[in-house]
Chains A and B, each alone.
Chain A
């Protein structure tokens, strides 16, 4: 049931060297630098996004994800969901308006997987970059690199998948769109959506909590994915795998790493989900094909290289 959570709104990523990271996310991936704050954080957006930013980079001694934020339809929804989180025994932290630039109050909570999430409803809208919303052209000129069109989802690794699914579905209104199930019935991967996309956030079981697998960005076509791969070679950027296709969600994809070792994905295509659709299930013994549809086997890195 929909509870007023709309979509992934932003992700804050820790990087070892801010300048190298900005160069990667801006020049190579094609995000646009929108702002910086007193703490030195850098705010980026992808060009089709209407909100001012979707990616925040923070310099740290350890890479990884600080938090992922979901945008809600109204401040009332944020308040209501805050109450429901508290009633479930979740600890919440209220972050005042303005802590993130041009963003309203945020309510943070930790999922049973160990990851920090937040809900918010208000952020400055600067419109689609370079085209706006009045007689807009098809796309803006002057985009760099891969020309990523939007921040799409994160894949996160941690324990307690059942509790996390329950929290996301019963409190936040997410649906289970796809899953990987072991022979004994244990769910080892769960892909959750809060709209029509194949996934807005996904989790894979891992004993260590709060691990970051990747942040993913949408491209329009398979050709754009191939072009992204070309750019990775031109810039000698570490590629993890691809271009290939996922079995799960069937997206056409490439995985690579930012200069701090955080994994990124760009992808095109993929399935869609309506609330009346039953979850798509992959058997754990087909995990290789579920993740990398063509290789049909996992590379070692998929399960072990995390930040």
Chain B
């Protein structure tokens, strides 16, 4: 299987992904810094990103920070987002 890659559209950075690793962890490993990193547990809402395309699974997240509508629109917490394909995403979300 080929290596999966996530493209962050604002910076143009490419981040290599690992299986069963959260998008946030992959970003950290690649030294790609989110504006803010918090609890890494889906609780604080600081790592919210906008996924534009690609497949992913989600772990549990605080509903205070991610509504069902957010989920439908790809606004998810990077620490709870597990990519299953190549991904494009944006660290800028409109309602951070």
- Neighbouring B residues of A260 by C-beta, 8 Å: 41-43, 60, 62
Closest B residue to A261 by CB, please name it. Answer: B43
How would residues 102 to 134 of chain A score, 1 for a CB under 8 Å from any chain B CB and 0 otherwise? 000000000000000000000000000000000
Q: How far is the CA of A62 from the CA of B41 in the complex (A)?
A: 11
How many A residues have CB within 8 A of the partner chain?
Answer: 21
Residues A238 and B61 in contact, CB atoms below 8 Å apart: no
Residues A261 and B44 in contact, CB atoms below 8 Å apart: yes
A19 to nearest B CB, angstroms? 11
Q: Does A51 contact B (CB under 8 A)?
A: no
- Neighbouring B residues of A240 by C-beta, 8 Å: 39
B73 to nearest A CB, angstroms? 19
How many B residues have CB within 8 A of the partner chain?
Answer: 15
Closest B residue to A240 by CB, please name it. Answer: B39
Question: Which of the candidate stretches A155-163, A184-192, A269-277, A298-306 sits at the interface with the other chain?
Answer: A298-306
Q: How far is the CA of A61 from the CA of B60 in the complex (A)?
A: 8
Residues B40 and A262 in contact, CB atoms below 8 Å apart: no
Residues A238 and B62 in contact, CB atoms below 8 Å apart: no
- Neighbouring B residues of A246 by C-beta, 8 Å: none
Q: Does B46 contact A (CB under 8 A)?
A: yes
- 18 other contacts beyond A63-B41, A261-B43, A306-B44, with CB at 8 A cut-off? A62-B64, A63-B43, A238-B39, A238-B41, A260-B62, A261-B39, A261-B42, A261-B44, A262-B39, A262-B41, A301-B37, A301-B38, A304-B44, A305-B38, A305-B39, A305-B44, A305-B46, A307-B62
Closest 10 A/B residue pairs (Cβ): A261-B43, A261-B39, A261-B41, A238-B40, A16-B60, A305-B38, A63-B43, A61-B63, A305-B44, A257-B39
